[in-house]
Chain A
Amino acid sequence: MPPPIEFQVRRRTLLAGSAAAAVSAGFTGKAGAQSGATPAGSETTTVSLTVNGEAREVTVDNRTTLLDALREHLQLTGTKKGCDHGQCGACTCSVNGNRVNSCLSLAVMHDGDEIETIEGIGTPEAMDPMQTAFVENDGFQCGYCTPGQIQSARSVIEEIRAGIPSHVTGDLTAEIAITDEEIRERMSGNICRCGAYSNILAAITQVAEESA
Chain B
Amino acid sequence: MKAFSYEKPTDAAAAAARAAEVEGAKFVAGGTNLLDLMKLQIEAPVHLIDVNGLGLDEITETDEGGLRIGTLVTNTTLMADDRIRRDYAVLTRAIAAGASGQLRNKATTGGNLLQRTRCPYFYDTAMPCNKRAPGSGCGALSEGAFSRQLGVIGTSESCIATHPSDMAVAMRALDAVVETVTPSGNTRQIPLEEFHLLPGDTPEQENALMDGELITHVVLPAPVGGVQSYHKVRDRASYAFALVSVALIRQPDGTGRVALGGVAPKPWRSAEADAELPNGARAVIAKLLEGANPTEENAFKITLAERTLAAMLKEA
User: Total interface residues on B, using CB and 8 Å?
Assistant: 59
Contact status B47-A41, CB under 8 Å? yes
User: Total interface residues on A, using CB and 8 Å?
Assistant: 59
Whether A62 touches B35, Cβ cut-off 8 Å, given contacts A31-B44, A172-B85, is no
Docked complex: B6-61 residues within 8 A CB-CB of A:
6-8, 22-25, 28, 31-32, 35-36, 39, 41-48, 50, 52
Please name all residues of chain A whose beta carbon is closer than 8 Å to the beta carbon of B101 when the two chains form the complex. Answer: 99, 152, 155-156, 159, 166, 186-189
Contact status B46-A109, CB under 8 Å? no
Contact status A30-B5, CB under 8 Å? no
Question: What is the interface of chain A, defined by CB distance below 8 A to chain B?
Answer: 23-24, 26-32, 34-43, 45, 61-63, 65, 84-86, 89, 92, 98-101, 103-106, 108-109, 152, 155-156, 159, 162-167, 169, 172-173, 184-190
Contact status B46-A106, CB under 8 Å? no
Expressed in whole angstroms, the minimum distance between the Cβ of B303 and any Cβ of chain A is 24
B210 within 8 A of A: no
B238 within 8 A of A: yes
Please name all residues of chain B whose beta carbon is closer than 8 Å to the beta carbon of A184 when the two chains form the complex. Answer: 238
7 contacts between A and B (CB under 8 A): A39-B46, A39-B47, A63-B3, A103-B35, A172-B85, A173-B86, A189-B239
Partner of A43 from B3, B76, B92 at Cβ < 8 Å? B3
Complex Cα spacing A26 to B133, Å: 10
Please name all residues of chain B whose beta carbon is closer than 8 Å to the beta carbon of A24 when the two chains form the complex. Answer: 41, 125
Please name all residues of chain A whose beta carbon is closer than 8 Å to the beta carbon of B201 when the two chains form the complex. Answer: none
Interface class of chain A by DSSP? loop
Q: Closest chain A residue to B238 by CB distance?
A: A188
Expressed in whole angstroms, the minimum distance between the Cβ of A26 and any Cβ of chain B is 4
Among B102-110, B247-255, B276-284, the stretch that binds chain A is B102-110
Please name all residues of chain B whose beta carbon is closer than 8 Å to the beta carbon of A45 when the two chains form the complex. Answer: 6
Partner of B103 from A40, A166, A189 at Cβ < 8 Å? A189
Q: Closest chain A residue to B22 by CB distance?
A: A40
Whether A109 touches B52, Cβ cut-off 8 Å, given contacts A37-B24, A164-B80, is yes
B223 within 8 A of A: no
Contact status B6-A108, CB under 8 Å? yes
Please name all residues of chain B whose beta carbon is closer than 8 Å to the beta carbon of A40 when the two chains form the complex. Answer: 5, 22, 25, 46-47
B2 within 8 A of A: yes
Contact status B127-A27, CB under 8 Å? yes
> What are the 5 A-B residue pairs with the smallest beta carbon separation, nearest first?
A189-B100, A37-B24, A29-B132, A31-B44, A188-B238
Partner of A165 from B39, B96, B237 at Cβ < 8 Å? B96
Contact status A26-B126, CB under 8 Å? yes
Complex Cα spacing A85 to B31, Å: 11
Contact status A86-B5, CB under 8 Å? no
Complex Cα spacing A86 to B34, Å: 11
Expressed in whole angstroms, the minimum distance between the Cβ of A131 and any Cβ of chain B is 19
B129 within 8 A of A: yes
Complex Cα spacing A101 to B106, Å: 8
Complex Cα spacing A167 to B92, Å: 9
Complex Cα spacing A47 to B23, Å: 25
Please name all residues of chain A whose beta carbon is closer than 8 Å to the beta carbon of B50 when the two chains form the complex. Answer: 108-109
